[in-house]
Amino acid sequence: MKFLEEKIFKILMYLSLGIVFAAVISIIITIFAKGVSALSWDMIFHTGRQGGILNAIAGSIYIVGMSTCIGLIISIPTVFYLNIFRKKDSKLGYFVRLSYDVMFGVPSIVYGILGYAVMVSLGMRSSLLGGIIVITLLILPIFVRSMDEVAKDFPRDILDTAYSLGATRLETIRVVLRQIVPGIATATLLSIGRAIGDAAAVMYTAGWSEMIPSSFKQKAATLPVAVLEFYQQPFSDVQDKAYASAIILTIIVLLLSIGGRFIMNKFSKNKLQ
């Protein structure tokens, strides 16, 4: 009897894993099957007015690039302070980590609509700048939490060595940074992945434009919003643009995820201790 139960549940487990694999494979096949025929060099190198999606690609690159830089500038000092200047089990550390975890859970549409409401009250319109600010807020928790996971395991001995050589806490940053570089890299890749795929946060704050934005005040198109906009149109040549944007987005995300794995594997082999 108990062996029968064992067998049944083992089959169910294989089935569950099978569903997980089937889901991934069917998503990728669906997107590629539709996208490959729609994608062409013409589409990539022409802006919306000329029937391409270059405006969306450029907009995504601008927004993701800028917000990733701002995210790095804010998160590195935060993580460094929490792990070096404060004790491991400090109250402040607990609450800051908790609040970033909670912020990580806040849906992107909430950031999007609140950001837009604030912008309207300040007399701003949808713009590249708005998109950058909202996306920065969105990815900041990912930056802080995933970097912190790596920094938490930072070997104390190395710190003590630096201190005994006369370094101040601030001066240990050179040693610490060198040790957590792989962590920073994975955190960055994760954040870029989230930032580039999020439509809900940018659909109003950055808006939509047929052209490549040339200043922070102009509206900017993005790839996920392009998928959303074009897919809802009833014309098949416009829907092709949606599929093309989707396949570009998927390829970028796949590359980021493979890259993240690669860095993590490499890192865990060379880990100290």
Partner 1 sequence: MKYRIFKDKITGAAMAALVVSSLFLVVMLGLGLLYYSIPVLKEHSISELLFTSSWQPSANKFGFLPFIISTVWVTGIAIVFAVPISLLSAIFLTEYSKPRLKKAVFPVLDVLASLPSVIYGLWGSLLLVPIISRFAASAGISTTGNTILAGGIVLGVMILPLLVSLFVEIFSAVPVEIRDTSVALGATRWQTVKKVLLKKTISGILASVVLAVSRALGETIAVLMVCGGGKLLPLSPLDSGFPIPALIASAYSEMGSEDTYKSALLFAALLLFIIVFLFNLSSRIILYRIEKRFT
Report the site for partner 1 in 87-106 (rule: CB under 8 A): 92, 94-96, 98-106
> Closest Cα to residue 249, out of 19, 9, 60?
60
- Binding residue for partner 1 (CB under 8 A) from 58, 113, 158, 211? 113
For partner 1, the closer CB: 33 or 50: 33
DSSP letter assigned to residue 123: T
> Interface residues for partner 1 in 117-146 (CB under 8 A)?
117-118, 137, 140, 144
For partner 1, the closer CB: 52 or 260: 260
d(C-alpha 75, C-alpha 72), whole Å: 5
Can residue 153 be called a binding residue for partner 1 (CB under 8 A)?
A: no
Cβ atoms 182, 268 nearer than 8 A: no
B/e letters for 71-96, b = 16+ CB within 10 Å, e = fewer, are bbeebbebbbebbbeeeeeeeebeeb
- Residues in contact with partner 1, counted by CB under 8 A, come to a total of 87
DSSP letter assigned to residue 206: T
207: left (phi over 0), alpha (psi -120 to 50) or beta: left
> Interface residues for partner 1 in 233-252 (CB under 8 A)?
242-243, 246, 249-250
> Interface residues for partner 1 in 54-93 (CB under 8 A)?
74, 77-78, 80-82, 85, 92
Smallest gap, in angstroms, from Cβ of residue 127 to partner 1?
16
For partner 1, the closer CB: 40 or 265: 265
Smallest gap, in angstroms, from Cβ of residue 177 to partner 1?
14
Can residue 38 be called a binding residue for partner 1 (CB under 8 A)?
A: no
- Binding residue for partner 1 (CB under 8 A) from 59, 130, 131, 197? 197
CA distances from 256 to 100, 118, 180, 261 (A): 23, 32, 19, 9
Can residue 5 be called a binding residue for partner 1 (CB under 8 A)?
A: yes
Can residue 24 be called a binding residue for partner 1 (CB under 8 A)?
A: yes
DSSP string, 253-266: HHHHHHHHHHHHHH
